Structure 1
């Protein structure tokens, strides 16, 4: 029985070998939307995170950057619903740490210039 299996396995392997060069077809990709900036990704994560959250990860596949939002706090004294945050950002240029404020703007969250 083992000899029969060995012969069948060898026959299958031999029939699968292909010595001709592989042909590669051309592939066209569908048009992509404009890449999201790191700031847009961070704003969206802070906006959907809970106030008081610590250690909330974010990543931007469009730029390869990633980081950890260290905390999300209410932004007192700024427009209603805004949130303060502190985050790290790792990218090809290195690691940075910064803070900011995001505010709701319609259906999205955006970085605010007000501090």
Structure 2
């Protein structure tokens, strides 16, 4: 009788192992679930958003003819947009290239960028990079 109980216990142990194997996670799901955020190098994302909005709302065109100050009280950063050139993007959208200073706790740096209007009122930064001449 004891031998029969032992065989029954061992048999159920083998039967339980099969469903646990099915519960193992797929490594692709685990490694793909966390992505590294991409941010403009050296600029707080809130400052990049403030600059983008200032450029998008600027009515006048020109290079160096108008200086446009911006500031972000949330971060304490400020700067001056020194050039805005409006052009039509490759898909017919309104775009603006710009040049700005960024004065933050890290110092003063010069940046170049481009923003385009994807749809009425929705402007997106295409690129925003520190000027290589600094």
Q: TM-score range by the shorter chain?
A: 0.5 to 0.7
Instruction: Give the unaligned 5+ runs of structure 2.
Output: 1-44, 129-134
Instruction: Work out which of the residue numbers 109, 127, 131 in structure 2 matches 1:96.
Output: 109
8 Å CA contact 2:99–2:111 kept in 1: the answer is: yes
**Greater share of helix residues, 1 or 2?**
2
* Structure 1 counterpart SS, 2:99: strand
Gaps of 5+ in 1: 1-35
Aligned to 1:59: 71
TM-score where L is the length of structure 2: 0.52
Instruction: Give the alignment's TM-score, normalised by structure 1.
Output: 0.60
Q: Which has the higher contact order (CA 8 A, sep 6+)?
A: 1
Give the greater-gyration-radius structure (CA).
2
Q: Secondary structure at the match of 2:116?
A: strand
More strand per residue: 1 or 2? 2
* 1:6-46 deviation per Cα after TM superposition (whole angstroms, max 9, x unaligned): xxxxxxxxxxxxxxxxxxxxxxxxxxxxxx70111000000
Large movers: runs of 4+ above 3 Å:
75-79
